[in-house]
Chains A and B, each alone.
Chain A
C-alpha cells in the first residue's frame, strides 16, 4: 500500500482490480484511471447487509477480499439458489441498467472489503472513452442482457472463477428458436434457397410454356398446375377447394397410419427380441433374411391373391415395408449397446426384466427412431406403388387415374401433395423422436456422447 492507509489502497491496485473484474477489455488507460480514482473503498463485517432486495441500484461492487452471498428475493432461502462472490468478482451489474432495482440481497459472509463504483459514472466514462466505441457498449449490452435473462442473479462472475452454486437459467426454447430464425435470416441461406426455387420454377415455366422445348412441351405447365391447384372451379375436378382432394389425402393417410402403427407395434418388440435373445434370433432371423431381398412391390399380386378386398392388400404391403425397417433397426440398436452396461446392471443385482427395461429399451431408442423415420419413408414409397396398381382412392390412385384420363395438371398436383404430406409425416416422427430422446440431444450437444 503506497500511502499506508487501509481505507484507500493504491490507485494502481484498484485499477488492476477493476481491469481484472470488468468485462471492458478495450478501455483505454485514461478511462481505467478515472474509474480507479472514482472507486470508493468500503469495509463490511461478517453478517452485515450491503443492500436489500428492491432498493435502488446505483452502484457496482468488486470484492477485494472476503466473501459475500447474494440471496434472491422470492426464493425460500435454499442455499443452492444464492450466489457466492469471492475476491476478484464483480456484482451489482443492474446498476448499469438505468433505474434498476436490486433483485437480491447482498450479505457479507466474512469480513470483506469492496470497491464501489457508481453506475452512472461508469456509463459516462465508457461512453466518453474514444477507444471503446461500439464494441464495448455492445459488451455492456450483452452483460445487461445476461442479467435480464437471469432474474435470480444480480452478478456476473469475473473471468477468474465462477461463483459457487450459482444458478444459470437456461433460455426458454422460444428465445433460442427466435434467435436461430434471426441468425438464419442474416445468413445468405434463405436468399440462396429462394434463388434455387426460382431457378427451378423458372426452368419449368420457360421450358414448357415459353420455349416449348421438344419433350417438355407436352408436360403440364407451371401456371396451368398452379391455376388448377388454387382454382375454385377446377377444370379437372381436383383443387384445394374440392372435398375429393382431401378425401384422397385422408384415405392415404389412414392407410399409412394403420400400417405404420401395426409395423411399429409388431416391429419394435420383434426387433428387441431379435437383439436380446440369441435363441429367438437363431430361429427367426434366417426367415427374415430369406424374405427381405424380395422387393416389397414384388408382393403386390400375391397380396391381392392372399388377402380379401382391395384395402387389406395395400395396408399389408405398406406394413411389410415398414415392419422390416423397424425390426432390423431395433435389432441393430440393441446390439449396439455396450455389453458392459448389461453386466454392470447385473452386478448391481438387476433382474433380467429390469435390464431389459432400463438398459436395453432406452439404449436401443436412438436406433428405433432412425428405423421409424426410414419406416415412414418406405411406407409412403410402397403405398404409392400399391395404390397405383390396385386402389380405389388415395394419392397414388389419383396419380395413376389422372395419367390414364390425361388430366396432367392433376397428376402434378397429386405428386406435390404426396411430397408435402410425406414430408410432414416424417417430420412428425422426427419431432416425436426428439421429444422422447431429449436426454440424448442434450448429451450430443454437450459432447458427452460419441
Chain B
C-alpha cells in the first residue's frame, strides 16, 4: 500500500490547504479535522436523537430508544468508583487471558505439526475441518454440560474461538514458505530439527502473530456472548461481578440502559488494549518486521 489511489484524481488537497490555514497543531491536518467533525456530528446526532422524545414530543424510530451520550457519561462517572465494575473488567480479562493462552499453547504446536508432517495432516486436518464450521458459541451448552464449573466452560469456549484461527494461520504461514528453501536446506545437510528451528519457525512467526491478533479479537467476541448465555440466559445472577458480558446483560435485565452502553464501550476499550498488547509483543518477537 505505497500509494493512495484516491489522492491521484483529486490532486493532493492536503498540500494546498495546510499552508493557507493558521490552525494550531494537529488540526492543520485535514484528515484529523474531518475526523473530529465526523465524530462530533455523530455525537450530536446521537444526543439529539436519543432525547428526541423530550424536545420533539415523539421518539425517533431507532435512536429514540438509545440512552443519550450524556446519560452514558453520567452513568460511567458513577461506576468509576464501583469496585463491582472493575471486578467485571478483571474477570473478563482473566478469562480471555486463560482461554487465549491455552489456545496459543495448544494451537501453535498443533498447527506446526500439521504443517510439518504429511501423515498427521492427512489424519487430523479433515477432523479439524469437520468441527470448524460449528460456531464456538454453539458449544456453550455442551461445554456447560461437560465441564464441572461454569468458569471452565466459558474458558473452553474462548479457547475454541481462538484455537481455530491460530491453527489456520500457522498452517497458512507454513504453506507460504518457499519449498525451495526447505530443499536447499535439506541438500546442504540440515537435519529435520534444524529445518524446523531455522526455517519453518521464523517463517511462520509472522503468521502466528497475525493469527494471535485476530484471535484476541475473537476471544472478546466469545467472552461477551459466553457470559451472556451461560449467566444471563438463565437469568439469576448476583448483581455485578461476573465479567463485562454479565455486566451488560444485568444492566439490560435491571433496566439501567445507560450502563449497557458503558459496558459496550468498556469491552471495546478492553479489546483494543489487548490487541495492542499482542501487537507490541509480536513486534518484540520479530525485530526484523519493525521497519515496516
Enumerate chain B residues within 8 angstroms of A283, measured Cβ to Cβ: 34-35, 37-38
Q: Decide if B260 touches A301 in the complex (CB within 8 Å).
A: yes
Q: Decide if B245 touches A298 in the complex (CB within 8 Å).
A: yes
Interface membership of chain B positions 104-134, coded 1 if the CB is closer than 8 angstroms to chain A and 0 otherwise = 0000000000000001001111110011111
For residue A13, CB closer than 8 A to chain B, the reply is no
Knowing A293-B271, A335-B4 touch, does A304 contact B252 (C-beta < 8 A)? yes
Interface membership of chain B positions 215-257, coded 1 if the CB is closer than 8 angstroms to chain A and 0 otherwise = 0000011001100110011100000000011001101100001
Chain A residue at minimum C-beta to C-beta distance from B249: A301
Enumerate chain B residues within 8 angstroms of A195, measured Cβ to Cβ: 123
For residue B5, CB closer than 8 A to chain A, the reply is yes
Which of A197, A290, A381, A412 has most B Cβ within 10 Å? A381
Q: Decide if A275 touches B6 in the complex (CB within 8 Å).
A: yes
Chain B residue at minimum C-beta to C-beta distance from A402: B141
Q: How far is A290 from B229 in the complex, measured between Cα atoms in Å?
A: 26
Chain B residue at minimum C-beta to C-beta distance from A416: B134
Q: How far is A197 from B122 in the complex, measured between Cα atoms in Å?
A: 11
Expressed in whole angstroms, the minimum distance between the Cβ of A78 and any Cβ of chain B is 42
Enumerate chain B residues within 8 angstroms of A323, measured Cβ to Cβ: none
Q: Decide if A297 touches B135 in the complex (CB within 8 Å).
A: no
Knowing A197-B126, A305-B65, A342-B8 touch, does A215 contact B38 (C-beta < 8 A)? no
Interface membership of chain A positions 293-314, coded 1 if the CB is closer than 8 angstroms to chain B and 0 otherwise = 1111111111011110000000
Enumerate chain A residues within 8 angstroms of B229, measured Cβ to Cβ: 385, 388-389, 400
Enumerate chain B residues within 8 angstroms of A396, measured Cβ to Cβ: 137-138
Q: Decide if B137 touches A388 in the complex (CB within 8 Å).
A: yes
For residue A138, CB closer than 8 A to chain B, the reply is no
Q: Decide if B138 touches A418 in the complex (CB within 8 Å).
A: yes
Knowing A286-B35, A418-B134 touch, does A300 contact B228 (C-beta < 8 A)? yes
Chain A residue at minimum C-beta to C-beta distance from B3: A339
For residue B99, CB closer than 8 A to chain A, the reply is no
Knowing A188-B122, A276-B6, A389-B228 touch, does A282 contact B39 (C-beta < 8 A)? no
For residue A199, CB closer than 8 A to chain B, the reply is yes
Expressed in whole angstroms, the minimum distance between the Cβ of A254 and any Cβ of chain B is 18
Q: Decide if B35 touches A302 in the complex (CB within 8 Å).
A: no
Q: Which of A48-56, A91-99, A232-240, A419-427 contacts B (4 or more CB under 8 A)?
A: A419-427
Partner of B7, one of A193, A197, A278, A294: A278
Chain B residue at minimum C-beta to C-beta distance from A201: B127
Q: How far is A277 from B5 in the complex, measured between Cα atoms in Å?
A: 9
Q: Which of B144-152, B191-199, B201-209 contacts A (4 or more CB under 8 A)?
A: B144-152
User: Which A residues, 270 to 294, have Cβ-Cβ distances below 8 Å to chain B?
Assistant: 275-279, 281-287, 290, 293-294
Q: How far is A286 from B252 in the complex, measured between Cα atoms in Å?
A: 28
Q: Decide if B133 touches A399 in the complex (CB within 8 Å).
A: no
Chain B residue at minimum C-beta to C-beta distance from A401: B141
User: Which A residues, 144 to 185, have Cβ-Cβ distances below 8 Å to chain B?
Assistant: none
Q: Decide if A415 touches B220 in the complex (CB within 8 Å).
A: no
Knowing A284-B38, A339-B5, A342-B9 touch, does A381 contact B267 (C-beta < 8 A)? no
Enumerate chain A residues within 8 angstroms of B10, measured Cβ to Cβ: 277-279
User: Which B residues, 136 to 186, have Cβ-Cβ distances below 8 Å to chain A?
Assistant: 136-142, 144-148
Q: How far is A14 from B41 in the complex, measured between Cα atoms in Å?
A: 88
Enumerate chain A residues within 8 angstroms of B264, measured Cβ to Cβ: 294, 298-299, 302
Partner of A277, one of B6, B132, B228: B6
Enumerate chain A residues within 8 angstroms of B124, measured Cβ to Cβ: 196
Q: Decide if B34 touches A219 in the complex (CB within 8 Å).
A: no
Q: How far is A402 from B142 in the complex, measured between Cα atoms in Å?
A: 10
Enumerate chain A residues within 8 angstroms of B144, measured Cβ to Cβ: 403
Partner of A420, one of B3, B123, B133, B248: B133
Expressed in whole angstroms, the minimum distance between the Cβ of B40 and any Cβ of chain A is 11
Which of B131, B147, B225, B249 has most A Cβ within 10 Å? B225
For residue B269, CB closer than 8 A to chain A, the reply is yes
User: Which B residues, 249 to 279, have Cβ-Cβ distances below 8 Å to chain A?
Assistant: 249, 251-252, 257, 260-261, 263-265, 267-269, 271-272
Q: Decide if A293 touches B268 in the complex (CB within 8 Å).
A: yes
Q: Decide if A400 touches B141 in the complex (CB within 8 Å).
A: yes
Q: Decide if A279 touches B248 in the complex (CB within 8 Å).
A: no
Chain A residue at minimum C-beta to C-beta distance from B122: A192
Partner of A296, one of B5, B39, B221: B221
Q: How far is A103 from B201 in the complex, measured between Cα atoms in Å?
A: 58
Expressed in whole angstroms, the minimum distance between the Cβ of A270 and any Cβ of chain B is 14
Chain A residue at minimum C-beta to C-beta distance from B146: A215
Expressed in whole angstroms, the minimum distance between the Cβ of A135 and any Cβ of chain B is 27
Q: Decide if A218 touches B233 in the complex (CB within 8 Å).
A: no
Q: Decide if B4 touches A301 in the complex (CB within 8 Å).
A: no
Enumerate chain B residues within 8 angstroms of A196, measured Cβ to Cβ: 122-127
Q: Decide if A412 touches B65 in the complex (CB within 8 Å).
A: no
Expressed in whole angstroms, the minimum distance between the Cβ of A55 and any Cβ of chain B is 51
Interchain residue pairs A-B with the least CB separation, the first 9: A192-B122, A403-B141, A301-B252, A282-B34, A339-B3, A286-B35, A297-B225, A293-B268, A419-B134
What are 10 A-B pairs with beta-carbon distances under 8 A?
A218-B145, A277-B6, A287-B39, A297-B225, A298-B245, A298-B268, A301-B260, A339-B8, A411-B142, A415-B138
Task: Beyond A287-B39, A304-B252, A346-B8, list 20 extra A-B contacts (CB 8 Å).
Answer: A192-B119, A275-B6, A276-B6, A282-B38, A295-B224, A295-B271, A297-B137, A298-B245, A299-B264, A302-B261, A335-B1, A346-B9, A355-B9, A385-B135, A388-B229, A399-B141, A403-B141, A411-B141, A415-B138, A416-B134
Q: Residues of B with Cβ closer than 8 Å to A?
A: 1-10, 13, 30-31, 34-35, 37-39, 42, 62-63, 65-66, 119, 122-127, 130-142, 144-148, 220-221, 224-225, 228-229, 232-234, 244-245, 248-249, 251-252, 257, 260-261, 263-265, 267-269, 271-272
